[in-house]
Structure 1
């Protein structure tokens, strides 16, 4: 049952890119970069320009059997040429060396739905707040990330699919430790930090800052330093990803295959993907995205009505009308149009 009681805080705004951007020549180098960032997010499994040399590194990633990833009840594939990838980030695991069954009982700290439209005109990355108060099939209302604890990855997929009414094609999970290793492999990432804060012996000043290693890990983890908690953490994680994109498409990275290989090596031990997201699938996806420029990657957050409480729990209240509009935009491949017309997206 959806609860429309008054909220206690407003939903902060995430700016989205607007309008068309000029395309570049030789977009194949961007496909390489996008793939490595995708590894961080769980989208991709090998850099396409270096697929032959990186395949063995990717093999370190854990493969999750289909029946341990997807539920038996699924929405129809209304837009079969589009691709939807669920990316889960966990802050409570140290690597993924054990069985995927160990994921049961954990809670997903970061949930991103990556939508790749049928015409491959861009990529849209949608953050879902982990504290969204939603109906979890078979368990009643609870925070969204509780679905993973109640029923593992299949129940979380089923819950999200019931919210957006769109089929999720692939799932990937990474531990936050992957941020640490990947940022070090890239010799640091420049992030445009919105809010100054201190945590764990690190000071994060407002404005452009350089992050790697433990400082990068602390940056993407922190939420208690901010009045709006997880909202700011989502913005910081998106800022980190944007900074990583810039570093990955820089000349110093694209002309250094050893750095690219080191990046994959750093992340693979912290990555698990469904068995359908193999190297061949990713290579084909990469070729289809060869004309995508980084300016055509859109970050947004699922619509909410801010925070509130249920009993003693602090929650995020979903904007169900906004989610219905987002669902239709996903089905119609019109997420940029949705973002341009919905305040705060």
Structure 2
């Protein structure tokens, strides 16, 4: 069994040992990064599908021209599951906390780059539903060639290829596309949209002085960042934070699909322009792929976007560090549903 090491603890979590000597870097916030990534992908895909025509092509080209491409995003083909025969698509979203050295973001050697936040986006074959599954950062899983560890160790051990291999091995399905994001464009995105209406099931406050009411909150800039980052206000910490992240993406999808956004070319353009420079995607996730996917999802609305968290069986401790245990029966049900494109039959995915 490999040693456990903590990757990218939040403020106040203590030290951060890594698999190699730390390099100087500009820190960012992986939780915010992931929410931003889910948001911008939902936004770009839906907008391209809905608005259509030359304008949509310009938006897609803006995304393609500004996003960074990963040359080596996937593991060796011999280690991978077969592509889905029915046309379903799986996209792995990752938030990295170190983008200072862009040339190593797809480097399969060990590094100090980390992905404490992950979501799997499953687009069903008939393009009627989109499922977004959050993967807990401390989930304790096998990492090929490195024993068992927290899933956020995979990127530090072997970049995007090893992370994809770890997730594919865990879920038993092929990852078709990969996207990584830096959080820096988050404020610009929320400002470009004029704020995002987000539902919170409970009132809470942060140490930074932000307060949120139970019910609907209009979030923009620093208030939006604090909402998706906060965990100390909750008894179950990361579990509620993940739910709040999902609530934000739901709110953003509603905002994007609203008539006030879709009929405002300036707002749409500002949204795509603000975010695309902070994206890194596999080289096949290009204009054509985005346009095709967007067109196929042109009839989707918020009611057809489903958010859930990978099944877990509580927390534990290994080597003095907290981990999240896999709920194996629950995971087996999700794996079977992903393989059969039948997530609609899994209660937690509804």
Q: TM-score, normalised on structure 2?
A: 0.81
Give, in whole Å, the separation in 1 of the partners of 2:152 and 2:45. Answer: 23
Aligned residues of 1:46 and 1:55 also touching (Cα < 8 A) = no
Aligned residues of 1:199 and 1:218 also touching (Cα < 8 A) = no
Structure 2: 5+ residue stretches without partners: 2-36
Give, in whole Å, the separation in 2 of the partners of 1:130 and 1:77. Answer: 26
Mapping 1:78-227, distance limit 5 Å:
78-90=84-96, 92-93=97-98, 100-101=105-106, 104-195=111-202, 196-227=204-235
Whether 1:76 aligns to 2:82 is: yes
Aligned residues of 1:95 and 1:270 also touching (Cα < 8 A) = no
Once the two structures are TM-superposed, the CA of residue 97 in structure 1 deviates from its matched residue by 5.9
Instruction: Find the residue that maps to 1:315 and give its secondary structure.
Output: strand
Aligned residues of 2:43 and 2:256 also touching (Cα < 8 A) = no
Number of aligned residues: 305
Query: Which residue in 2 is equivalent to 1:265?
Result: 273
Query: Which residue in 1 is equivalent to 2:58?
Result: 53
Deviations 1:135-176 (A, max 9, x none): 111111110111111111111110110011000000001123
Aligned residues of 1:41 and 1:174 also touching (Cα < 8 A) = no
Once the two structures are TM-superposed, the CA of residue 191 in structure 1 deviates from its matched residue by 0.9
Deviations 1:254-300 (A, max 9, x none): 11011001001111121111111101111111121223222111111
Aligned residues of 1:45 and 1:277 also touching (Cα < 8 A) = no
Instruction: Find the residue that maps to 2:141 and give its secondary structure.
Output: strand
Deviations 1:200-252 (A, max 9, x none): 23222332111111211222122233221111111111111111111111121
Mapping 1:247-286, distance limit 5 Å:
247-286=255-294
Deviations 1:47-89 (A, max 9, x none): 3423222134211111111xx2100121122435111100112
Structure 1: 5+ residue stretches without partners: 2-35
Query: Which residue in 2 is equivalent to 1:6?
Result: none
Give, in whole Å, the separation in 2 of the partners of 1:96 and 1:235. Answer: 31
Once the two structures are TM-superposed, the CA of residue 326 in structure 1 deviates from its matched residue by 0.6
Aligned residues of 2:43 and 2:253 also touching (Cα < 8 A) = no
Aligned residues of 1:61 and 1:268 also touching (Cα < 8 A) = yes
RMSD between aligned residues: 2.4
The structure-2 alpha-carbon separation of the partners of 1:121 and 1:113, relative to structure 1 and needing over 3 Å to count, comes to same
Instruction: Find the residue that maps to 2:206 and give its secondary structure.
Output: strand
Give, in whole Å, the separation in 2 of the partners of 1:302 and 1:270. Answer: 27
Once the two structures are TM-superposed, the CA of residue 39 in structure 1 deviates from its matched residue by 2.4
Aligned residues of 1:197 and 1:203 also touching (Cα < 8 A) = yes
Whether 1:332 aligns to 2:340 is: yes
Instruction: Find the residue that maps to 1:330 and give its secondary structure.
Output: helix
The structure-2 alpha-carbon separation of the partners of 1:100 and 1:173, relative to structure 1 and needing over 3 Å to count, comes to same
